[in-house]
Amino acid sequence: MSLTSSLLYLDGVTVSFDGFKALNNLSMVLQEGEMRAIIGPNGAGKTTMMDCITGKTRPDTGTIYFDGTVDLTRLDEAAIANEGIGRKFQKPTVFENHTVRTNIALALKESRSPFHLLVSRLSREQNTRIDEVLDTIRLSHLQKETAANLSHGQKQWLEIGMLLAQDPRLLLVDEPVAGMTDSETAETARLLVEIAKTHTVIVVEHDMAFVRDLDVKVTVLHEGSVLSEGTLDHVSADTRVIDVYLGR
Ligand SMILES: Nc1ncnc2c1ncn2[C@@H]1O[C@H](COP(=O)(O)OP(=O)(O)OP(=O)(O)O)[C@@H](O)[C@H]1O
């Protein structure tokens, strides 16, 4: 597989904290347009991997290439975000006092501040884009609602929408369904499948019913490297995966 045909390419990535290897020679390739689920036991290195991709943590060794040519290990967090890599953390961080629609408007690439929004009207294209995002995240009917009044699940969707408004090429989504109801969880899978039609996505999750609904290739991390990779059925039948994770 050539380096340039992949959107994200990690090779031999190692990260040590006081001699302990949170990532140990991790290699993984993601094609443009692919959605990938990352699973694995607590401490497997999932968050550290995301931290390395977004520039929060710098690997001791190894390479991470974005879009074939951009060496992410040489860029800081802001530069990596500018390259088109967006991340949604587990805890939603929406602007509670603003409406759902304003939250999306504030997240638009061109938008800078609430003040900027007040003094300069949004273009028709921007409003159309906001409408599209609201539709994707199932919140059109609540666009005038104050974000503080949303359910936990709806806040997660709003934050995914804020990520989409920035039009990233790669979305990193960390445990999106933690704390959601079953129906919100099922809806989130549908929402991400829809988003993945036009974006490359990495989803970290522990919820196996949700991962099954995504119906994508799964990478199992364990002790900082890839233990198994393939369909959920394939990795679920892997005795090493059962031993360290699924069988417990
Ligand atoms: N800043 C740090 N300093 C020291 N150790 C760390 C640091 N960050 C992570 N670790 C350790 O590295 C290992 C991998 O952690 P990481 O958070 O990446 O795992 P994870 O797969 O995301 O786990 P979880 O499913 O619990 O979120 C853990 O043992 C953790 O304690």
ipTM here:
0.94
Q: Is the CB of 6 under 6 A from ligand 1?
A: no
- Is the distance from the beta carbon of residue 48 to the nearest atom of ligand 1 less than 6 Å? yes
Over residues 10-52, the pLDDT tens digits come to 999 999 999 899 999 999 999 999 999 999 999 999 999 999 9
Q: Judge if the beta carbon of residue 89 lies within 6 A of ligand 1.
A: no
One-letter amino acid at 86 equals G
- The reply to whether ligand 1 has any atom less than 6 angstroms from the CB of 17 is yes
Cα(174) to centroid(ligand 1), Å? 14
**pLDDT value at residue 108:** 86
d(Cα 203, Cα 35) in Å, to the nearest integer? 8
Which strands, in side-by-side order, build the sheet including 35-39?
A: 85-88, 170-174, 200-204, 35-39, 217-222, 225-230
Nearest CA to ligand 1 atom 8: 48
Could you tell me the maximum CA-CA distance found in the chain, to the nearest angstrom? Answer: 60
**pLDDT above 70 as % of the chain:** 93
Beta strands in 115-243 (DSSP E): 170-174, 200-204, 217-222, 225-230
Position in ligand 1 atom list of the atom nearest CA 206: 25
Q: Burial, 144: exposed, middle or buried (Cβ in 10 Å; 0-12, 13-18, 19+)?
A: exposed
Q: Are 145 and 87 a contacting pair, CB within 8 Å?
A: no
Global confidence as pTM = 0.92
Ligand 1 pocket residue status of 42, Cβ below 6 Å: yes
List pLDDT tens digits, range 98-132: 999 999 998 886 656 666 666 567 888 889 999 99
Query: Which residues make beta-bridge pairs with 198?
Result: none
- What's the pLDDT tens digit per position in 44-96? 999 999 999 999 999 999 999 999 989 999 999 999 999 999 998 777 789 99
Task: Please count the other Cβ atoms lying within 10 Å of the Cβ belonging to residue 88.
Answer: 20
Q: What is the pLDDT of residue 3?
A: 54
Ligand 1, pocket-test mutation among 14, 26, 42, most atoms within 8 A of CB: 42
Alpha carbon 241 to its chain centroid, in Å, reads 23
Residue 226: C-alpha distances to residues 33, 52, 53, 66, 168 (Å): 21, 15, 16, 19, 26
Give residue 192's pLDDT band: very low, low, confident or very high (50, 70, 90).
very high
In contact, 134 and 161? CB cutoff 8 Å: yes
